[in-house]
Amino acid sequence: MEEKKEYQHKLDLKALEKRKNSSFYKISCPSCGQSIPADDINIQDKIAKCGGCHAVFPFEHKLNALLTARKPKQTVLRPEGIDLYAYQNELEISLRQDVQVMDILPWSLWPIFPILFTILFFNQGFPLTIMLASWMVGIFPLMNLFTFSKHKVYITMDEVYLNIQWRPKKLIKDKRFLVRDIDQIYIKKLNGYHNVVMIVNQPSGQKEITLLSVRSLSKARFLEQEVEKYLKIEDREVLGEVK
């Protein structure tokens, strides 16, 4: 089981190895690979000493991983409304946008001004051009309503970047993240939405960034599953996540 570097010098190799077909672990020296006997392991301080090469090393991160280990998640089947496209080293996930306030508001307000200007035109001689313009502008909310099924969110990933794009954009900026900076993906529920959240490593520390908000938990779990699978991220429990 290969692990990322977490210590320098002698501590950058494996510190724990899981025995096959067993439910317990053994600790091995990260310097020479020799198994560490129980007498040389300090569970309280989470420090071990190798009797062979006399290296002293911590194993707290491994012990925490063992204590917080969870059963493998059940595979989530692809929900309706999500499409996957894989080409060479790229993966694209697309899903229909959830209805936003900006989708409902124009539809509910659009009749007010055309009707008002029409009344003013017939009763008070309001300019014809303004009345016609109000009706032309009023067409756009209708077009938006009838084409809403084509409104998509695209998550594209390759070996370097993860991109998020809304089409149409609806005043939402496209986002791009370096794959190497993404540490974990999890789901957090907020205001009736299931947020797919990323923990991103930054120079100032780790930061939580919402990848996408969806109403459906099954869609959120599928997105979490596929992004973690593509980026080869080991799923870990995060405080406050939806279980």
Decide: pTM greater than 0.75.
no
Evaluate whether residue 238 is within a structural domain.
no
Q: From the CA atom positions of the chain, what is the Rg in Å?
A: 27
Task: Decide if pLDDT at 177 tops 80.
Answer: yes
Can you give the three-state secondary structure of 156-197, one letter per residue?
A: EECCCEEEEEEECCCCCCCEEEEHHHEEEEEEEEECCEEEEE
pLDDT at 62: 65
Is the predicted pLDDT of residue 70 greater than 60, yes or no? Answer: no
Would the pLDDT of 145 be above 70? no
pLDDT per position as a tens digit, 187-221: 999 988 999 999 999 888 899 999 999 989 999 99
- Residue 105 sits in the same domain as residue 185: no
Q: Domain for residue 172, yes or no?
A: yes
Highest mean pLDDT out of 97-101, 130-134, 214-218: 214-218
> Could you tell me if residue 2 is inside a domain?
no
Residue 13 burial (CB count, 10 A): 16
Res 22: pLDDT:
41
pLDDT band with cut points at 50, 70 and 90 for residue 6:
very low
The answer to whether position 237 is within a domain reads no
What type of residue sits at position 153? Answer: V
Structural domain contains residue 28: yes
Residue 146's contacts (CB-CB under 8 Å, 6 or more residues apart) are: none
Task: Give the integer Cα–Cα distance in Å for 160 and 90.
Answer: 10
- Domain membership of residue 236 (yes or no) is no
pLDDT confidence of residue 11:
33
Flag whether 241 is in a domain. Answer: no
Both 90 and 164 in one domain: the answer is: yes
Task: State the pLDDT at residue 95.
Answer: 93
Q: Are residues 92 and 194 in the same domain?
A: yes
Same domain, 55 and 159: no
Q: What is the rounded average pLDDT of the residues 178-194?
A: 93
143 and 199 together in one domain: no
More confident residue, 228 or 108: 228
Among 30-34, 81-85, 102-106, 155-159, the minimum mean pLDDT is found in: 102-106
Number of domains within the chain: 3
pLDDT score at 83: 94
Pairing relation of β-strands 161-167 and 182-190? unpaired
Task: List, for residues 39-61, the tens digit of each pLDDT value.
Answer: 888 877 788 888 888 888 887 76
pLDDT at position 12: 36
Encode pLDDT of 117-129 as tens digits. 778 778 877 787 8
Per-residue confidence at 109, pLDDT binned at 50, 70, 90? low
135 lies in which domain range? 101-148
How far is Cα 210 from Cα 189, in angstroms, rounded to an integer? 11
Sequence-ordered strand ranges (E) for the chain: 16-18, 25-27, 41-42, 47-49, 56-58, 82-87, 90-96, 152-157, 161-167, 175-178, 182-190, 193-202, 205-214
- Predicted confidence at residue 115, as pLDDT, reads 74
Asked whether residue 76 is assigned to any structural domain, the reply reads no
105 or 42, greater pLDDT: 42
> What six digits make up the tokens of 219?
């869609």
Output the pLDDT for position 67: 59
Other CB atoms within 10 Å distance of the CB of residue 154: 16
Task: Provide mean pLDDT across the span 145-171.
Answer: 85
Q: Any idea what the Cα angle at residue 242 is, between residues 235 and 150, rounded to 5°?
A: 90
